[in-house]
Amino acid sequence: MDCIMIALYLDMALRINSAVDMLSVSLGNRRSLQELMNAMGDEWTLHKSNVKALLFSHESCPTSISDLVQQALAACQASIIPDMAVRFHALGRIRTSMIPDEHMSVLAKISRDGELLDSLKPLSVKNDVVPEISVGMDKLTLTCSRYSTRIRSSTQQVL
């Protein structure tokens, strides 16, 4: 909801009244897939792989109109599940019309500048690896020639 609030204020000079941040029902890391699943009705109403594909796979590129519509529909569907409706009803409402223009301008600028800085980060990094690589039983050992502590386990690495 914070991103929507900032975008509407900066790009269209609009304010939000009576909005609900669905992830406010989360108890843990708001950016995790599991907390998002919990906020949308848990795995008995959703397919985890579909939620992951819709909400987490396109972080490096702009969201398409189709994905945006599907995200809005998923949020709408989650809000009418009886158990979730009770939880959402108990949440406080977001009213940006109560925030002075000076404060909204500063909040919006800080948020947008953060997004812009984040978009400047490289999506991939090339590291130089020492040619001596040892292979053992289910184990591959290699050394980065410049930064010895920079190689981390990841499913997205290519060697």
Per-range mean pLDDT, top range of 15-19, 37-41, 78-82, 100-104: 100-104
CA distance 143 to 127: 10
Predicted confidence at residue 61, as pLDDT, reads 65
Q: What are the tens digits of pLDDT across the range 25-60?
A: 877 777 788 888 878 877 666 777 877 777 776 555
What burial class does residue 19 get, using C-beta atoms within 10 Å of its C-beta: 0-12 exposed, 13-18 middle, 19+ buried?
middle
CA distance 31 to 132: 39
